[in-house]
Amino acid sequence: MTGRLSPATSLRPALVTGENKAFVMVGYRPFFVDTVASASPPRKRLRLDMENTIGEEHALTLANDGYDELKKHSRFYHADGDCAIRVQDTLFRVHRFLLSRDSSAFEDMFSMPRCGNSPKEGHSDEEPILLESENVDDFAELLSILYALPSELQDLRSNPANVYRLLAIAEITNKYHFVSTSSWAISALCQVTECRDEPWRALRTTQQPRLPPPAWCTAPILRRIIEVAQLCGHQMLCDHAAEKWIELIYIGRANPVYAMAVADEYGLPRLKGISYYEALLSCDDSFECMFEPVSEGSERPAMAPAQKAGLLSGFFSLVRRWESLRATAPTFAKPDGCTYHAHGCLSTWQAVWKSTTKCDAMVHRRTADVLGHLGAMAYLLEADRDLRKAAVDSVRELWKREEEELAYHFRDLTRPGPN
């Protein structure tokens, strides 16, 4: 038996069997597949195994469950519950109205008509609704938020230690299309991670912060936040997590190689540019990033061949970029009242710029360290009291533009196609 599945936004599908139908939980809404077989015993439990990938033709194979005995969940088996649900080898008994509210996918499942005189699944422990491909802990997390008291909800969104729980809640409520509950979980994540209403940028600095980063601010948790934020379509939270990761890289508390993989996977250009750039400056001739992580354990993640090619291309591109930058000083707007701007100020500024690029503090820097060169130039030029503030500010603005466009340099130049 085959079925075509609709496109999905969920990380993984879940199969729900009930009323002689199979609900393929893909993305926000279920896709229904008829599983009635005249030759099958009416009370035999069947399972639908999904093969291949979402959006293509799937082979659904019937097989035995593989569990010898069911056990009741210690917390979410309510004697007065009117809906029995089985996940793996665990039996839940809950209240149907909680699952069917908030425009959830369970609302569609519960509204399906019965087929003939078959027993209505979910109304007894002997005929539970089977959630295929679901995890017991994840489903229990869903129920915990549906049954939560107001005081428990307030504690969840006020304690940063609950970041992992909120991530699990946001993911599973999005999976089963609990609209307002998923939005609440994302809002709570923004609160405990101090996600700002306005975009912000992490600053490159050699000074350690006065206070250490919060306990939740580690590379594995930031990766999880990015994953869930993209799943739920919350770009602001995704950008916030990326900036916190950049901040960790800048202060030496995160290995840039780990961030490279995440930036490539989720298409985050700013995180990609800065992580590749910092890895380039810290790796040796064998592409080993000479960085001892502070908060990620002792192992150094290995670079993929495509990442190594990107670093080589980035080195080539950045060296050429600095050769271009040091030859021509950045321009700045004509100050009010200045009558000597084009022939006096700019020509003098060009001469000062070129002479500064040749001083000892500059020539001993790695050629590919464009940001380091520009930062040193701003520092040296700022010390010249005769230099106008507008000229120094133009160097700082150039530094910001170069940082923003770092990802451009790490395209794989060995691949055919336009560059």
205 and 269 share a domain? yes
Q: Left if phi > 0, otherwise alpha if psi is -120 to 50, otherwise beta: which for 374?
A: alpha
DSSP conformation letters of 38-57: TTS-TT---EEEE-S-TTSE
Do 297 and 375 belong together in one domain?
A: no
Q: Say if residue 266 is in the same domain as residue 338.
A: no
Closest Cα partner for 181 from 239, 107, 104?
A: 104
Question: Considering the chain, what is the average pLDDT of its residues?
Answer: 78
User: Is residue 298 domain-shared with residue 334, that is, in the same domain?
Assistant: no
Q: What are phi and psi of 208, to 5 degrees?
A: -75, 145
Rg of the chain (C-alpha set): 29
> Is 351 domain-assigned?
yes
Residue 262 lies in a domain: yes
Residue 384 domain-assigned?
yes
* Tally of domains in the chain: 2
pLDDT per residue over 257-292, tens digit each?
A: 999 999 999 999 999 999 999 999 988 777 777 665
Residue 287: CB atoms within 10 A of its CB come to 16
* Pairing status of strand 90-94 against strand 71-77: parallel
- Are residues 353 and 264 located together in one domain of the fold? no
Establish if 107 belongs to a structural domain: no
- Residue 24 inside a domain? The answer is no
The most confident of the ranges 8-22, 113-127, 355-369 is: 355-369
Mean predicted confidence (pLDDT) in 377-393: 74
Residues 292 and 354 in one domain: no
How far is it, in rounded angstroms, from Cα 145 to Cα 274? 38
Whether 179 maps to a domain, the answer reads no
Work out whether strand 21-26 and strand 14-18 pair parallel, antiparallel, or are unpaired: antiparallel
Mean pLDDT over residues 400-413, rounded?
Answer: 89
Is residue 246 in some structural domain? yes
pTM of this prediction? Answer: 0.74
Is the domain of 299 the same as that of 331? no
CA atoms within 13 A on the CB side of 238: 18
Task: Please enumerate in sequence order all residues whose Cβ is within 8 A of that of 124, keeping only pairs 6 or more positions apart, or say none.
Answer: 84
Nearest to 278 by CA among 256, 263, 252, 309: 256
- pLDDT band (50, 70, 90) for residue 205: low
Q: Are residues 293 and 349 in the same domain?
A: no
DSSP category for residue 293? -
Residues 284, 367 within the same domain: no
**Which residues lie below 8 Å from residue 170, measured CB to CB, with a gap of 6+?**
182, 185, 186, 189, 228, 232
340 and 273 within one domain: no
Is there a single domain that holds both residue 291 and residue 202? yes
Instruction: Tell me the per-residue pLDDT of 286-325, one tens digit each, with 9 for 90 and over.
Output: 777 766 554 454 556 788 899 999 999 999 999 999 999 9
Quickly state the pLDDT bin for 68 (edges 50, 70, 90): low
Segment 146-155, tens digit of pLDDT = 999 999 999 9
Q: Let me know if residue 338 belongs to a domain.
A: yes
Would you give the DSSP letter of residue 344? I
Domain identity same for 199 and 269? yes
Residues composing the chain? 419
Q: Residue 338's domain spans which residues?
A: 327-407
Positive/negative CA dihedral, 98, 100, 104, 105 = positive
Q: Give the CA distances from residue 157 to residues 70, 167, 181, 204, 380, in Å, rounded to whole numbers and listed in that order.
A: 34, 12, 13, 31, 47
Neighbours of 347 (CB within 10 A): 13
In three-state secondary structure terms, 283 is strand
